[in-house]
Amino acid sequence: MGAEKLTSLQLELLKVYSFQPSEKDLRAVQKMLSTYFSDKMISKIDEAVEEKEITEEDLDRWLNE
Domain ranges of the chain: 22-63
What does residue 17 show for φ and ψ, rounded to 5 degrees? -65, -25
Spell out the residues 6+ positions from residue 59 whose beta carbon is closer than 8 angstroms to its own.
49
Give me the pLDDT at residue 1, please. Answer: 52
pLDDT digits over 3-56, tens only?
Answer: 689 999 999 989 988 889 999 999 999 999 999 999 999 999 999 999 999 998
Reduce the DSSP state of residue 65 to 3 states and report it: coil
Nearest of 34, 60, 40 to residue 48 by alpha carbon: 40
Residue pLDDT, tens place only, 15-27? 988 889 999 999 9
pTM above 0.85, yes or no: no
